[in-house]
Amino acid sequence: MTARLSDTVALVTGASSGIGEATARGLAAEGAAVAVLGRRRERLEQLADRIRADGGTALVLEADITDRRQAAAAVGTVVDRLGRLDTVVNNAGFMGVGQFADSPVEEWERMIGVNVQGLLHITHAALPHLLRAAEDSPRRVADLVNISSTAGRVARPGTAVYNLTKFGVNGFTEALRQEVVHRRVRVSVVEPGTVDTELSSHLRDGVRQSVERQIEGMELLRPEDIADAVSYIVTRDRRVAVNEVLVRAGEQTW
């Protein structure tokens, strides 16, 4: 059988670990050539080696997407090296938790920089290439998938700025979807619940322990669970648009 994403190119941000790493491997398994973007080159090189060992094609991109020029250059490199761009997964993210009055300014500036501005930078640079891919690819469709969170649906004390960024991602995704829907670029959002990733490792002492107590005993989602949702979205026939996927851990109430 021909892999469903053969002869296509995908870009995954935040690919050095967790959901991004699993998503890159999932798309490569479907036949896509995958550009993996992040700031930890060593981790990206290891991921690329695994993809190549499995018979796939991988391109490593070390960049800080909060810098508009670096983000645009990374997208340009994908097209220059791999010839096209059919799928973009905006996965890079940063989470800070704690009462807003006590939160360091640098923490919420980083959340806005990565979760909002970085996503916008990559999307703005990639969109012309996705529109072109939808016109000339054998599948006659292209995909932009934004990884949001249940925090884009449910506001809770202690996550105010994170809520701000993820509610914003959801709103942006839907508005952009309507802008390009008639040009066969599908714009989708995936909202993961509690996933066993490095995301919580960035939390401040005290706050991290509080979060760990909240999820203690819960069977967390695995990164592959979210990667499966992404693969499902982007492998549908062009007549199908899966605009939103909410994936909660089985015991999660929020």
By annotation, the residues acting in catalysis are: 162
Centre a 10 Å sphere on the Cβ of residue 49 and count the other Cβ atoms it contains.
Answer: 12
Dihedral of alpha carbons 96, 90, 118, 77, sign: positive
Of the CA atoms within 13 Å of residue 5, those in its CB half-sphere come to 30
Residue 231's nearest CA partner among 4, 61, 1, 44 is 4
What is the rounded CA–CA span in Å between residue 57 and residue 155?
40
Residue 123's nearest CA partner among 82, 179, 164 is 179
The set of residues, in sequence order, having a beta carbon less than 8 Å from that of 25 and lying 6+ positions away, is 47, 50, 51, 54, 227
